[in-house]
């Protein structure tokens, strides 16, 4: 009886069909038509110029880059969600910028060069702001207050100097935050937006259920820890070339990444689970 149920139910969960609409959303974004050289300078100048404080300008910039005319409402809503996720969960509004680098047309070598340039600009800007905060604290709160905050900033200043001398290195926590953010952007973040706006190709209701389960935060955390950072979790700094030599193709091929997560989820379902998912929606 179990074999009969399996033969009836399991073929209905076709991973290609389930991820087709979310894949089309990302494939049709304007940035997929741009070479990475076309986007790198825009991104770097926004980081260095402090334009991130201009939230409306920032939103407009992202809208222009990831807009998909077939998913107009979804892609605009995704910008809002992406900005909120970066600020609320990571305290770093620059993360959507670095996600753009993954979406542009590139190869591993050109991507790594672009990534280093943007990351160095990002770290330099951050440290400059922190130094200014220390100066202001010293002026307003006295010498002791300035010294106390200065001690906390010193490690970041040293880190930036190290990266300027060797831009191939990046702090593990920074890289982990970026990859965690980007993975969520590629997977879970757009799922319910696609359901809400109903754009693109029709999706069965249980597709949304499967995508939410296959892309949930626990799955994401396990993927980051056990796939991307399996060899790096004991290091404070990571060699950028080495990391992306191992992980660039995984992060770049977002269609395959999403399909793999869905297939992994389906493979752990019993025939009864599958039949229940299909028939209850």
* Chain segment 147-159, per-residue pLDDT in tens: 444 444 444 444 4
What's the rounded Cα separation, in Å, for the pair 15 and 265?
Answer: 10
What's the rounded Cα separation, in Å, for the pair 163 and 168?
Answer: 7
**H helix runs in the chain, sequence order:** 2-9, 15-27, 36-49, 55-66, 72-90, 95-103, 108-141, 143-165, 172-186, 191-197, 205-214, 217-223, 240-252, 254-267, 271-279
Q: Residue 4 has which token pair?
A: 């009969």
Residue range of the domain that includes 227: 2-279
Where do we find the tokens 């493979």? 267
* Chain segment 198-215, per-residue pLDDT in tens: 999 999 999 999 999 999
* Chain segment 45-81, per-residue pLDDT in tens: 887 776 555 677 778 999 999 999 999 999 999 999 9
What's the rounded Cα separation, in Å, for the pair 181 and 99?
Answer: 8
Q: What is the pLDDT of residue 133?
A: 40
Percent of the chain's residues with pLDDT above 70? 78
Q: What is the pLDDT of residue 50?
A: 60
> H-helix or E-strand containing 34?
none
Provide the domain count of the chain: 1
Mean of per-residue pLDDT scores for the chain: 84
What's the rounded Cα separation, in Å, for the pair 150 and 153?
Answer: 5
Mean pLDDT of 222-226: 97
DSSP character for 169? E
Is residue 128 predicted with pLDDT exceeding 80? no
CB neighbour list of residue 166: distance below 8 Å, 6 or more residues apart: none
Q: What is the pLDDT of residue 94?
A: 86
pTM of the full structure: 0.83
User: Which range, of 16-25, 112-121, 189-198, averages the lowest pLDDT?
Assistant: 112-121
Q: What is the pLDDT of residue 119?
A: 87
Mean pLDDT of 114-140: 60
DSSP character for 94? T
């Amino acid at each position: 009886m179990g074999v009969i149920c399996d033969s009836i139910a399991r073929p209905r969960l076709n991973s290609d069909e389930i991820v087709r609409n979310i894949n089309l959303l990302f494939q049709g974004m304007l940035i997929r038509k741009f070479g990475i050289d076309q986007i790198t300078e825009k991104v770097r100048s926004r980081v260095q110029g402090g334009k991130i404080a201009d939230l409306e300008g920032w939103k407009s910039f992202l809208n222009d880059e990831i807009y998909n005319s077939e998913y107009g409402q979804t892609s605009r809503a995704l910008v809002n969600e992406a900005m909120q996720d970066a600020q609320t969960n990571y305290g770093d509004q620059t993360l959507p910028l670095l996600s753009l680098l993954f979406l542009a047309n590139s190869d591993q070598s050109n991507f790594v060069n672009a990534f280093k340039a943007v990351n160095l600009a990002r770290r330099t800007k951050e440290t400059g702001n922190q130094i200014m905060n220390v100066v202001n604290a010293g002026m307003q709160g006295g010498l002791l207050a300035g010294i106390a905050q200065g001690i906390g900033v010193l490690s970041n200043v040293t880190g930036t100097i190290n990266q300027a001398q060797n831009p191939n290195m990046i702090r593990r926590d920074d890289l982990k935050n970026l990859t965690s953010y980007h993975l969520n952007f590629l997977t879970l973040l757009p799922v319910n937006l696609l359901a809400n706006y109903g754009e693109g190709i029709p999706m069965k209701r249980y597709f949304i259920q499967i995508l939410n389960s296959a892309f949930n935060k626990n799955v994401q955390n396990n993927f980051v820890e056990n796939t991307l950072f399996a060899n790096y979790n004991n290091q404070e700094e990571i060699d950028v070339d080495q990391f992306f030599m191992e992980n660039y193709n995984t992060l770049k091929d977002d269609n395959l990444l999403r399909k793999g997560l869905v297939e992994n989820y389906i493979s752990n379902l019993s025939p009864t689970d599958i039949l229940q998912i299909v028939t209850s929606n």
